[in-house]
Structure 1
Protein backbone atom coordinates (compact mmCIF):
# COMPACT_ATOMS: atom_id res chain seq x y z
CA UNK A 1 0.00 0.00 0.00
CA UNK A 2 1.47 3.34 -1.01
CA UNK A 3 1.06 6.48 0.97
CA UNK A 4 -0.43 9.49 -0.79
CA UNK A 5 1.19 12.90 -0.50
CA UNK A 6 -1.79 15.25 -0.05
CA UNK A 7 -1.12 18.61 -1.70
CA UNK A 8 -3.25 21.77 -1.63
CA UNK A 9 -5.72 21.72 -4.50
CA UNK A 10 -5.29 25.43 -5.04
CA UNK A 11 -2.41 27.88 -4.66
CA UNK A 12 -1.94 31.53 -5.60
CA UNK A 13 0.91 33.60 -6.93
CA UNK A 14 2.04 36.76 -5.14
CA UNK A 15 0.40 38.79 -7.93
CA UNK A 16 -2.93 37.06 -7.24
CA UNK A 17 -2.63 37.68 -3.51
CA UNK A 18 -1.87 41.36 -4.21
CA UNK A 19 -4.99 41.66 -6.39
CA UNK A 20 -7.11 39.84 -3.79
CA UNK A 21 -5.96 42.36 -1.17
CA UNK A 22 -6.73 45.26 -3.52
CA UNK A 23 -10.26 43.93 -4.12
CA UNK A 24 -10.80 43.31 -0.40
CA UNK A 25 -10.26 47.00 0.29
CA UNK A 26 -13.54 47.59 -1.59
CA UNK A 27 -15.20 44.24 -0.78
CA UNK A 28 -13.88 42.78 2.49
CA UNK A 29 -15.67 39.41 2.19
CA UNK A 30 -15.16 37.67 -1.16
CA UNK A 31 -15.03 34.18 -2.59
CA UNK A 32 -13.92 32.52 -5.80
CA UNK A 33 -15.79 30.07 -7.95
CA UNK A 34 -13.79 28.31 -10.64
CA UNK A 35 -15.87 28.89 -13.74
CA UNK A 36 -16.47 25.94 -15.99
CA UNK A 37 -17.65 27.48 -18.96
CA UNK A 38 -19.33 29.44 -21.52
CA UNK A 39 -19.33 33.20 -21.11
CA UNK A 40 -16.13 33.71 -19.16
CA UNK A 41 -14.27 30.59 -20.24
CA UNK A 42 -12.56 28.91 -17.35
CA UNK A 43 -11.62 32.02 -15.39
CA UNK A 44 -11.70 31.99 -11.62
CA UNK A 45 -14.59 34.30 -10.84
CA UNK A 46 -14.36 36.56 -7.79
CA UNK A 47 -17.61 37.61 -6.10
CA UNK A 48 -18.72 39.42 -2.96
CA UNK A 49 -19.38 36.56 -0.52
CA UNK A 50 -22.93 37.71 0.19
CA UNK A 51 -23.79 37.99 -3.54
CA UNK A 52 -23.00 34.38 -4.46
CA UNK A 53 -24.89 31.35 -3.22
CA UNK A 54 -22.59 28.37 -2.87
CA UNK A 55 -24.54 25.37 -4.11
CA UNK A 56 -24.94 21.93 -2.57
CA UNK A 57 -22.93 20.56 -5.50
CA UNK A 58 -20.02 22.94 -5.06
CA UNK A 59 -16.78 21.61 -3.59
CA UNK A 60 -14.53 23.85 -1.51
CA UNK A 61 -11.02 23.40 -2.91
CA UNK A 62 -9.38 25.42 -0.16
CA UNK A 63 -8.52 29.03 0.57
CA UNK A 64 -5.96 31.53 -0.66
CA UNK A 65 -5.17 34.45 1.61
CA UNK A 66 -8.28 33.56 3.64
CA UNK A 67 -10.57 33.58 0.60
CA UNK A 68 -12.49 30.34 -0.11
CA UNK A 69 -12.39 28.81 -3.57
CA UNK A 70 -15.18 26.58 -4.88
CA UNK A 71 -15.71 24.45 -7.97
CA UNK A 72 -18.74 22.49 -9.14
CA UNK A 73 -18.69 18.81 -8.19
CA UNK A 74 -18.84 17.73 -11.83
CA UNK A 75 -15.89 19.94 -12.75
CA UNK A 76 -14.00 18.76 -9.67
CA UNK A 77 -14.36 15.17 -10.93
CA UNK A 78 -12.56 16.19 -14.12
CA UNK A 79 -9.87 18.30 -12.41
CA UNK A 80 -9.30 16.32 -9.18
CA UNK A 81 -5.86 15.20 -10.35
CA UNK A 82 -4.83 18.81 -10.98
CA UNK A 83 -3.50 21.54 -8.73
CA UNK A 84 -4.94 24.93 -9.64
CA UNK A 85 -2.69 27.98 -9.39
CA UNK A 86 -4.50 31.31 -9.35
CA UNK A 87 -2.44 33.96 -11.12
CA UNK A 88 -2.94 37.44 -12.59
CA UNK A 89 -2.37 38.66 -16.15
CA UNK A 90 -3.09 41.97 -17.91
CA UNK A 91 -6.60 42.31 -19.29
CA UNK A 92 -10.24 42.58 -18.31
CA UNK A 93 -11.81 40.25 -15.78
CA UNK A 94 -14.98 38.25 -16.26
CA UNK A 95 -18.14 40.27 -16.74
CA UNK A 96 -19.43 39.74 -13.19
CA UNK A 97 -16.08 39.14 -11.46
CA UNK A 98 -14.67 41.75 -9.09
CA UNK A 99 -11.40 41.87 -11.02
CA UNK A 100 -13.25 43.41 -13.99
CA UNK A 101 -12.31 47.03 -14.67
CA UNK A 102 -8.92 46.83 -12.94
CA UNK A 103 -6.94 46.20 -16.17
CA UNK A 104 -5.70 42.90 -14.74
CA UNK A 105 -7.56 39.67 -14.30
CA UNK A 106 -7.32 36.37 -12.52
CA UNK A 107 -6.21 33.37 -14.53
CA UNK A 108 -6.08 29.72 -13.53
CA UNK A 109 -2.93 27.81 -14.34
CA UNK A 110 -2.65 24.13 -13.54
CA UNK A 111 -0.23 21.38 -12.66
CA UNK A 112 -1.07 17.68 -12.87
CA UNK A 113 -0.43 15.71 -9.73
CA UNK A 114 1.95 12.83 -10.15
CA UNK A 115 3.86 10.14 -8.31
CA UNK A 116 1.58 9.57 -5.33
CA UNK A 117 0.38 13.17 -5.03
CA UNK A 118 -3.31 13.83 -4.57
CA UNK A 119 -5.56 16.75 -3.84
CA UNK A 120 -6.20 17.32 -0.13
CA UNK A 121 -9.95 17.82 -0.73
CA UNK A 122 -12.11 14.84 0.19
CA UNK A 123 -13.84 13.07 -2.70
CA UNK A 124 -17.17 14.54 -3.81
CA UNK A 125 -19.96 13.40 -1.57
CA UNK A 126 -18.13 13.88 1.73
CA UNK A 127 -19.18 16.77 3.96
CA UNK A 128 -16.97 19.50 2.56
CA UNK A 129 -19.43 20.72 -0.01
CA UNK A 130 -21.20 24.04 -0.12
CA UNK A 131 -20.86 26.68 2.61
Structure 2
Protein backbone atom coordinates (compact mmCIF):
# COMPACT_ATOMS: atom_id res chain seq x y z
CA UNK A 1 0.00 0.00 0.00
CA UNK A 2 1.82 3.14 -1.21
CA UNK A 3 -0.07 5.45 1.16
CA UNK A 4 0.84 3.40 4.23
CA UNK A 5 4.44 3.13 3.05
CA UNK A 6 4.69 6.92 2.68
CA UNK A 7 3.14 7.41 6.14
CA UNK A 8 5.66 4.93 7.59
CA UNK A 9 8.62 6.83 6.15
CA UNK A 10 7.16 10.19 7.24
CA UNK A 11 6.99 8.83 10.80
CA UNK A 12 10.56 7.51 10.57
CA UNK A 13 11.81 10.92 9.40
CA UNK A 14 9.92 12.72 12.19
CA UNK A 15 11.39 10.44 14.84
CA UNK A 16 14.89 10.78 13.39
CA UNK A 17 14.62 14.58 13.35
CA UNK A 18 13.69 14.52 17.03
CA UNK A 19 16.94 12.68 17.80
CA UNK A 20 15.68 9.10 17.94
CA UNK A 21 18.00 6.50 16.43
CA UNK A 22 16.11 4.26 14.03
CA UNK A 23 17.27 0.85 12.83
CA UNK A 24 15.46 -0.32 9.71
CA UNK A 25 15.92 -3.77 8.21
CA UNK A 26 14.76 -4.45 4.67
CA UNK A 27 15.43 -6.63 1.67
CA UNK A 28 14.24 -3.80 -0.59
CA UNK A 29 17.15 -1.66 -1.70
CA UNK A 30 14.87 1.17 -2.84
CA UNK A 31 13.70 1.50 0.79
CA UNK A 32 17.28 1.51 2.04
CA UNK A 33 17.87 4.59 -0.16
CA UNK A 34 15.76 6.58 2.33
CA UNK A 35 18.23 5.92 5.16
CA UNK A 36 21.11 8.17 6.21
CA UNK A 37 23.48 5.22 6.60
CA UNK A 38 23.20 1.75 5.14
CA UNK A 39 24.88 -1.49 6.13
CA UNK A 40 24.99 -4.24 3.53
CA UNK A 41 25.01 -7.74 5.04
CA UNK A 42 25.27 -11.22 3.59
CA UNK A 43 25.32 -14.50 5.49
CA UNK A 44 25.56 -12.63 8.79
CA UNK A 45 28.60 -10.58 7.78
CA UNK A 46 28.68 -6.81 7.39
CA UNK A 47 30.15 -6.21 3.93
CA UNK A 48 30.01 -2.40 3.87
CA UNK A 49 28.47 0.53 5.73
CA UNK A 50 28.22 4.16 4.68
CA UNK A 51 25.76 6.65 3.23
CA UNK A 52 23.87 5.44 0.15
CA UNK A 53 25.65 7.96 -2.07
CA UNK A 54 29.11 7.00 -0.78
CA UNK A 55 28.40 3.29 -1.19
CA UNK A 56 27.29 3.83 -4.78
CA UNK A 57 30.30 6.01 -5.55
CA UNK A 58 32.86 3.74 -3.87
CA UNK A 59 31.55 0.25 -4.67
CA UNK A 60 30.33 0.60 -8.25
CA UNK A 61 33.55 0.57 -10.25
CA UNK A 62 32.39 2.09 -13.51
CA UNK A 63 29.58 3.56 -15.54
CA UNK A 64 25.94 2.47 -15.65
CA UNK A 65 24.02 2.22 -18.92
CA UNK A 66 20.32 1.57 -19.59
CA UNK A 67 20.25 -0.31 -22.91
CA UNK A 68 16.94 -0.52 -24.77
CA UNK A 69 17.40 -3.27 -27.36
CA UNK A 70 15.40 -5.98 -29.11
CA UNK A 71 15.43 -8.85 -28.67
CA UNK A 72 16.50 -8.46 -25.04
CA UNK A 73 17.79 -12.03 -24.74
CA UNK A 74 20.17 -11.50 -27.66
CA UNK A 75 21.47 -8.31 -26.06
CA UNK A 76 21.89 -10.18 -22.80
CA UNK A 77 24.07 -12.71 -24.63
CA UNK A 78 26.13 -10.15 -26.59
CA UNK A 79 26.98 -7.50 -23.99
CA UNK A 80 28.93 -9.69 -21.53
CA UNK A 81 31.33 -10.49 -24.39
CA UNK A 82 32.16 -6.81 -24.98
CA UNK A 83 35.53 -5.78 -23.58
CA UNK A 84 35.06 -3.53 -20.54
CA UNK A 85 31.55 -4.74 -19.69
CA UNK A 86 31.50 -5.78 -16.04
CA UNK A 87 27.88 -6.83 -15.55
CA UNK A 88 24.62 -7.05 -17.52
CA UNK A 89 21.16 -7.82 -16.19
CA UNK A 90 17.53 -7.62 -17.20
CA UNK A 91 15.72 -4.60 -15.79
CA UNK A 92 12.13 -4.80 -16.95
CA UNK A 93 12.00 -3.64 -20.56
CA UNK A 94 15.73 -3.02 -20.93
CA UNK A 95 19.23 -4.18 -19.98
CA UNK A 96 21.12 -2.59 -17.10
CA UNK A 97 24.82 -2.64 -17.93
CA UNK A 98 27.83 -1.67 -15.83
CA UNK A 99 31.07 -1.00 -17.68
CA UNK A 100 34.56 0.07 -16.79
CA UNK A 101 34.87 3.85 -16.32
CA UNK A 102 35.16 5.69 -19.61
CA UNK A 103 33.55 3.01 -21.78
CA UNK A 104 31.83 4.72 -24.68
CA UNK A 105 28.17 4.31 -25.52
CA UNK A 106 29.20 3.81 -29.15
CA UNK A 107 31.21 0.69 -28.21
CA UNK A 108 28.07 -0.94 -26.84
CA UNK A 109 26.00 0.20 -29.81
CA UNK A 110 28.46 -1.18 -32.38
CA UNK A 111 28.81 -4.54 -30.61
CA UNK A 112 25.04 -5.00 -30.41
CA UNK A 113 24.38 -3.96 -34.01
CA UNK A 114 27.18 -6.22 -35.31
CA UNK A 115 25.29 -9.17 -33.80
CA UNK A 116 21.97 -8.09 -35.29
CA UNK A 117 20.48 -6.63 -32.12
CA UNK A 118 18.19 -3.66 -32.77
CA UNK A 119 19.13 -0.83 -30.39
CA UNK A 120 16.40 1.68 -29.63
CA UNK A 121 18.43 3.74 -27.16
CA UNK A 122 21.33 3.67 -24.72
CA UNK A 123 21.03 6.08 -21.80
CA UNK A 124 23.40 6.94 -18.97
CA UNK A 125 22.11 5.38 -15.76
CA UNK A 126 22.75 5.97 -12.08
CA UNK A 127 24.10 3.33 -9.70
CA UNK A 128 21.61 1.94 -7.18
CA UNK A 129 22.00 0.21 -3.84
CA UNK A 130 20.89 -2.96 -5.61
CA UNK A 131 23.98 -2.60 -7.84
CA UNK A 132 26.07 -2.18 -4.69
CA UNK A 133 24.57 -5.28 -3.09
CA UNK A 134 25.13 -7.39 -6.20
CA UNK A 135 28.74 -6.19 -6.47
CA UNK A 136 29.47 -6.96 -2.82
CA UNK A 137 27.60 -10.25 -2.61
CA UNK A 138 29.45 -11.92 -5.48
TM-score, length-scaled by structure 1? 0.30
TM-score, length-scaled by structure 2? 0.29
| Structure with the larger helix share | 2
Larger Rg: 2
